[in-house]
Structure 1
């Protein structure tokens, strides 16, 4: 039996004027990974994205995902607390010398709302800017199926909506993914 299709909005946002997030670095350690296995990546991706039904990477054949993760323009990082507790992850993709996408960003559900996201995101934005030329385009997408706090958070961080599109996805998603 086919699943019903559900329309949802998707926004593309660009960094126009970064906001000072006034977050100290105390307690948040970002680690950019020189390489990451498919299993480790999917563990992080699923841990952060499962509440928001992130499935794109889980639907990719493992060899295709391994190839994608090995690209030199792809950058993955984890966020840990000072005691070594893993709390989130991000993935950047440098598309060109003046274009870097924050492809994925998020915290494990039990760590949201504690101020760690602001600290982590500030560092992610700085890294994205460092991967591109001056006056570069740093951008990301979010949608209605993401955390309700995501869009306002990105806007408070200096990102502005540059496009809004409607998409359709089958729902509910297969819980076995």
Structure 2
């Protein structure tokens, strides 16, 4: 994804602090159908995690138990939005509302066969717009004050650029040595 030195992992933390920060995509590529997974399904979120992250070494959640997946998808303020290309799941965005009025985009990505088609920009813009209006769907939750996420040098090669094109700004960068 970047020119990170071998043996290191760079993580970028990005944010938007107002709905007006969101930059819509230019319209290049196929416009996906995007739907919220309204029925919490641990199996669905695990499937999407593996399908999207399998080739880019997403491994953190692979050890999760069914109960941990269930807790994730049933937590108030957690939503999963899925992009479909002609009926086939193409990618997803998962978000979690936080007590301080922030919404974290916890997972975002496309299944490898759908990368490079312009779907990612549309899906990310849709997900971020939904993050900004999360309070409308979760009564009792305060208005969103900030949408944030992080990406790292192990993620897809276009991840950081896509986030910046959608109006996210870097607010912190960390670099750590990998264990040998």
TM-score of the superposition, structure 2-length normalised? 0.82
Deviation, 1:26, is 6.6
- Aligned partner of 1:143 among 141, 149, 152: 152
Q: Secondary structure, in 3 states, of the residue corresponding to 1:118?
A: helix
Change (3 A) 1:43 1:168: farther
Q: After the TM superposition, list the runs of 4 or more consecutive aligned residues in structure 1 that deviate by more than 6 angstroms.
A: none
C-alpha distance in 2, partners of 1:74/1:15? 19
- Aligned partner of 1:94 among 83, 94, 97: 97
Q: CA RMSD in A?
A: 2.3
**Residue 114 of structure 1 corresponds to which residue in structure 2?**
117
Deviation, 1:167, is 3.8
Unaligned ranges ≥5, structure 1 = 1-5, 172-177
**Residue 7 of structure 1 corresponds to which residue in structure 2?**
8
Please tell me whether the aligned partners of residues 15 and 139 of structure 1 are also in contact (alpha carbons under 8 angstroms). yes
**Residue 75 of structure 1 corresponds to which residue in structure 2?**
79
Change (3 A) 1:63 1:170: farther
Note the alpha carbon deviations across 1:44-99, whole angstroms, 9 max, x for none.
11000111111122121221221121111110121112x21211111000113620
C-alpha distance in 1, partners of 2:108/2:23? 18
Q: Secondary structure, in 3 states, of the residue corresponding to 2:98?
A: strand
Deviation, 1:169, is 5.0
Please tell me whether the aligned partners of residues 25 and 119 of structure 1 are also in contact (alpha carbons under 8 angstroms). no
Unaligned ranges ≥5, structure 2 = 1-6, 136-141
C-alpha distance in 2, partners of 1:41/1:18? 25
Please tell me whether the aligned partners of residues 52 and 112 of structure 2 are also in contact (alpha carbons under 8 angstroms). yes
TM-score of the superposition, structure 1-length normalised? 0.84
> How many pairs align?
166
Please tell me whether the aligned partners of residues 13 and 171 of structure 2 are also in contact (alpha carbons under 8 angstroms). yes
C-alpha distance in 1, partners of 2:92/2:14? 20
C-alpha distance in 2, partners of 1:74/1:9? 27
Deviation, 1:115, is 0.8
C-alpha distance in 2, partners of 1:154/1:100? 15
Q: Secondary structure, in 3 states, of the residue corresponding to 2:163?
A: helix
